Amino acid sequence: GTQAFAVFHPQRYLNIVSTYIVGNWNPPPTPSPSPGDTHITLLELMTHDTHQDCWVVYYDTVYDMTDFADLHPGPGAAAIHPFCGWIGTEEYDIFHDKSLLVTIESYAVGNL
């Protein structure tokens, strides 16, 4: 940066190059990994098998359904809790269209 330049160069050089400064350079922020970037193994999924820590897979995406379970319309948590720590795609398909997954996409934690 400018301070490091000033340590090794006389002030007159700093005055010359300062005419070319157009602003501060900040590196772009490092993006945080999206759920699609996170791979979750079946063994890890199986450790999230309680009502207080409930991960369920639908179409190879892992969702943390812990907070959503009680919000599920109709049967509520009873529709989700049997699948904590496991794959619920087959049962999901019986009652839902795949397009409804958009309603829980914010709960996605990774891919199986």
Query: Which backbone phi and psi does 78 adopt, to 5 degrees?
Result: -60, -25
Domain ranges for the chain: 35-111
Q: What is the pLDDT of residues 2-45, one digit of tens each?
A: 555 555 566 776 666 666 666 665 555 545 556 667 899 999 99
In this structure, which amino acid lies at residue 20?
Y
Percent of the chain with pLDDT over 90: 63
What is the topology classification, in CATH, of domain 35-111?
Flavocytochrome B2; Chain A, domain 1 (3.10.120)
Q: Structure pTM?
A: 0.68
Residue 79, CA distances (Å) to 21, 27, 38, 50 in order? 61, 46, 26, 14
Q: What is the pLDDT of residues 95-106, one digit of tens each?
A: 999 999 999 999
